[in-house]
Amino acid sequence: MSSLISNAELKSELESLLPSCNTLTIVSAFMTQPATRWLNSLISDNKPKVQLVGRFSPIDFIQGSSDLSALRDCISRGYTVKALTNLHAKIYQIDENIIFNGSANLTGKGLALVDVSNLEACTKIKACEGSKSFISKIVDSAYELSAETIDKMEKYISEIEVINKPELQMDWPEHVLPQSKELFVSDFPLVKPGDFAREYKLNPSLQFAQIENVREDKELASALFKQSKAYRWLKSQVYNNLSDRDLGFGQVSRLLHDALSDDPSPYRQDVKKLQASLYSYLKLYATDEIEIYIPGNRSEILRLKETIWN
């Protein structure tokens, strides 16, 4: 049975294991230069395969939670560096058999590399096929960064004139960092409009966390909703349903269940809750594009407005 260890113990374990490792995958929402320099000092000259996946939203760099210089250093050393903006996990996989999973980010405070550090905890487990598959799916879903991408990120951040509403700076423009084409539960509203979801506080870069942060400004909230992956997916389903131009609730539930990339796949009942919350947002912010109607005693039907078709 695995037991909990502190981030100081995790640091010691990694210092023992990394110099002789052949492969290393680190999934960490945040990454900073004190930790990446420490990591570089442990990686031997035999050039093991190193993969780093972080959240890397604009606000992370603006607030100093992550460091573009750290990513630039890692790319120059030949590491694969990827971004997945709905990421919150912290996982360290060494070779094929060891995984550390817990709350410690690849940062100075997360790994107890600085005097005033966070109190973190994690577990050390033997990697099973399911765990390795889960990690591989995260890596495969993320977008690989290049030195050119880092330059674009830096330029975009420098051009933000006033950051009086930092919650609005969560997403990269498509020309800087394209969104992952994979669709996850976290891309959808976890609760109905106006309700609180703990996940939104943990990861304010989630698109529906952003929408809730600006809900007092309905025009802006509507614009953010229409840009969300969840709404654009729903709109494409209605548009592609060419038979009679409308979709029932059950049809959309089946399509959504099949489209989600989460592993394990969510239960149908949970998918329906996501869908119901999405419909609540649609009624609030996008009735000019998609209408919901109930013919007779049937379930809710979606249909594009004629203005969208014309």
41: three-class secondary structure by DSSP: helix
Q: Assign domain 4-158 to its CATH architecture.
A: 2-Layer Sandwich (3.30)
The alpha carbon dihedral of 185, 191, 195, 198 has a sign of: negative
Specify which residues 25 forms β-bridges with.
51, 93
Residue ranges covered by each domain of the chain: 4-158, 183-309
Written as tens digits, the pLDDT of the chain (310 aa) is: 467 899 999 999 999 999 999 999 999 999 999 999 999 999 977 778 999 999 998 888 988 999 999 999 999 999 999 998 778 889 999 998 999 999 999 999 999 998 888 889 999 998 888 888 889 988 988 899 999 999 999 998 888 754 445 445 567 888 898 877 778 898 999 999 999 888 888 777 788 988 998 889 898 889 889 988 899 999 999 888 756 556 889 999 999 999 998 877 889 999 999 999 999 999 999 999 998 888 776 788 888 876 554 4
Annotate 70-92 with b (16+ C-beta within 10 A) or e (fewer): bbbbbbeeebbbbbbbbbbbbbb
In angstroms, the CA 97 to CA 63 distance is 35
CA 9 to chain centre: 28
Please give the sequence-ordered ranges of beta strands (E in DSSP) within the chain, or none if there are none. Answer: 4-6, 23-28, 49-54, 80-83, 90-94, 98-102, 121-126, 143-144, 246-248, 290-293, 301-304
In angstroms, the CA 17 to CA 64 distance is 29
**What is residue 65's predicted lDDT score, i.e. its pLDDT?**
92
Asked if domains 4-158 and 183-309 share a fold, the reply is no
- What is the H or E stretch that residue 208 is in? helix 207-213
Q: Assign domain 183-309 to its CATH architecture.
A: Orthogonal Bundle (1.10)
**What is residue 111's predicted lDDT score, i.e. its pLDDT?**
94
Establish how many alpha carbons lie within 13 A of residue 209's alpha carbon, considering only the half-sphere containing its beta carbon.
19
